[in-house]
Amino acid sequence: MESTEPAPPTREGASADLDGCVELLGKLLPEESLITDRQRVRTYECDGLASYRTVPAAVVLPENAEQVRSAVAACSEHGVPFVARGSGTGLSAGALPRSDGVLIVTSKMRRILELDIANERAVVEPGVVNLDVTKAAAPHGYYFAPDPSSQQVCSVGGNVAENSGGAHCLKYGFTTNHVLAAQVVTADGELVELGGAAHDAPGYDLLGSFIGSEGTLGVVTSITVRLLRSPESVRTLLAGFPSTDEAGAAVSAMIAAGVTPAAVEMMDALSITAAEQAVRCGYPEGAGAVLVVELDGPRPEVERTFTEVWQHCDEHGAFEIRTAADETERALIWKGRKSAFAAVGRISRDYIVQDGVIPRTALPEVLRRIAELSAESGVRVANVFHAGDGNLHPLVLFDGSEPGAAERAEEVSGAILELCVEQGGSITGEHGVGADKVRYMGRMFTAEDLDVMQCVRCAFDPAGLCNPGKVFPTPRLCGEAPGRRRGVHPLTEAGLAEQF
């Protein structure tokens, strides 16, 4: 599907001059850093959510912060929208380009600028691959905690934009909890330092606003990340249960007993079947659900709580419990879980990866309702989720060659999100809103909520040039008082913006 492109609410009187912008970019950047060739720019038409495609007008590949700054300044001067992109692994079309805009790709900015072990931090460029931070820190006994499943390819800049989590964020939090400072280019082409060297410096926490803003507040050019001490001990357990209800009850028991696992992952029967076919992970045969539980920390604490976790699984109906004796066995346990999304390709031609959140305690009810939705529609749904924090990843299966199948799958997928909102949850736990979920924002937030959030947008990007059309269903004219909008937004009226 070709995306709809709401026009950026540019300053009154200013009109976009794309040709002028590209010409200026040509003067400012080295030749190899600017791509305008139609075939070559097409490479960047989508991110990890390939159902949305737009060919950008131009692509720039800056090599340093100064080049990012001048590229953004050129866009700003000519009123041209721009979108930043890291490795392009996002799953919500957050890095979907604009046909009337410039795509700024940070993949050439891959230097780890500083490894400051004494202060347990590192300074990296935005294109640095997530796992490479850990690889650099590991010899010193440290690691970078956020571990999205795409960590072998995704960039830290992208992690900042999306506030990426990962399986271990249950205990350690998200990217926002692991970034101490960032250098960013704001929409008017200024380099600004957010955060600082010392903890808790006075001032508004603009860094906290920036992280997770999905590229709508600026482009990050360097990131100071926290490094954590590698845990003394890691223990991993795999438990097979007759159904997701028992597995869920075991998780509830752990939480009630005050255990904070590093990760608790659950897979249902259909996703186990898929994983088994794809990677032969050897999960317990006939399981209606499996739990992967990982504990880490000081050895005596881990040993004690590991015994407790084992008992909770046993008491709640686990018919088989395995513990990883070494790193190889641990990797095998994780293999099934980590390959789950891709593995579903083995049992279904096409599928939608959904990302919704519910309060963890609503899990049994929500899974029952998903099963009902699936039965009513005839659309199969495989469930993989972070059971500790209620972040569901239902995989909605369909065969795109079958007429109407994609639409039916979309419907089920949307109904699952509605279910999440109804339960007081969220429409996205880690994949972001991007272009894909803009239409659901109004289900979770009031118009006033969204307007007030956009006050931040107006402070950073009054002209609305920075990744426009993402996150917010309706652009806000900066200067307008929140909640005081009269009548129809002028951009909507002019047919330039779509209101969801």
- Considering only residues 374 to 433 of the shown chain, the ones binding other proteins according to CB under 8 A are 386, 389-391, 424-433
Is 410 or 480 the residue whose CB approaches other proteins more closely? 480
Closest CB to other proteins among residues 8, 388 = 388
Q: Which residue has the tokens 């912008």?
A: 21
Among 6, 212, 261, 475, binds other proteins (CB under 8 A): 212
Considering the complex, what minimum distance in angstroms separates the CB of residue 441 from other proteins?
Answer: 7
Closer to other proteins by Cβ: residue 218 or 240: 218
Angle at 259 between CA 257 and CA 262, to 5 degrees: 160
308 burial via Cβ count (<10 Å: 0-12, 13-18, 19+) = middle
465 binds other proteins (CB under 8 A): no
Burial 341-358 (b: 16+ CB within 10 A, else e): bebbeebbebbbbbbbbb
Distance from C-alpha of 255 to C-alpha of 257, rounded to nearest angstrom: 5
Binds other proteins (CB under 8 A): choice among 19, 286, 314, 359: 359
State the minimum distance, in angstroms, from the CB of residue 255 to other proteins. Answer: 6
Closest to other proteins by CB, 211 vs 272, is: 211
Looking at 158-166, 274-282, 284-292, 491-499, which segment touches other proteins (CB under 8 A)? 158-166
Is residue 464 a contact point for other proteins (CB under 8 A)? no
Contact region for other proteins (CB under 8 A) — 16-24, 80-88, 204-212, 397-405? 204-212
Residue 360 sits in the site that holds other proteins (CB under 8 A): yes
| Contact status: 206 vs other proteins (CB under 8 A) | yes
Piece of the chain touching other proteins by CB under 8 A; list 37-45, 226-234, 263-271, 403-411:
226-234
Question: What residues between 159 and 198 interact with other proteins by CB under 8 A?
Answer: 162-163, 165, 169, 173-174, 176-177, 186, 190-194, 196-198
β-pairing, 102-105 vs 82-85, is parallel
CB of 328 to other proteins, least distance (A): 23
CA distance 310 to 250: 10
CA–CA distance, 295 with 207 (Å, rounded to integer):
30
Q: How far is the CB of 31 from other proteins (least distance, A)?
A: 31
Which strand ranges, in their side-by-side order, compose the sheet holding 179-185? Answer: 112-116, 121-124, 219-226, 179-185, 191-195
**Choice between 5 and 389, CB closer to other proteins:** 389
Q: Which of 19, 66, 402, 448 binds other proteins (CB under 8 A)?
A: 448
DSSP class of residue 86?
Answer: S
Q: Which is nearer to other proteins, 81 or 425 (CB)?
A: 425
Out of 205, 327, 376, 493, name the contact with other proteins by CB under 8 A. Answer: 205
d(CA 54, CA 57): 9
The answer to whether the beta carbons of residues 358 and 390 sit under 8 Å apart is yes
Residue 268 binds to other proteins (criterion: CB under 8 A): no
With CB under 8 A as the contact rule, which of the stretches 1-9, 203-211, 364-372, 489-497 interacts with other proteins? 203-211
What is the DSSP track for 426-454?
A: BS-SSS--TTTSGGGHHHHS-HHHHHHHH
Distance (Å) of CA 104 to CA 61, 70, 288: 6, 11, 45
Interacting residues with other proteins between 112 and 141 (CB under 8 A): 116, 118-120
DSSP state of 18: H
Stretch that binds other proteins, among 16-24, 45-53, 332-340, 456-464 (CB under 8 A): 456-464
For residue 213, the tally of other CB atoms under 10 A from its CB is 24
Distance, in Å, from the CA atom of 78 to the CA atom of 17, rounded to the nearest integer, reads 5
* In the complex, minimum distance from the CB of residue 391 to other proteins, in angstroms, rounded to a whole number: 5
Residue 66 CB contacts under 8 Å (≥ 6 apart), including other chains = none
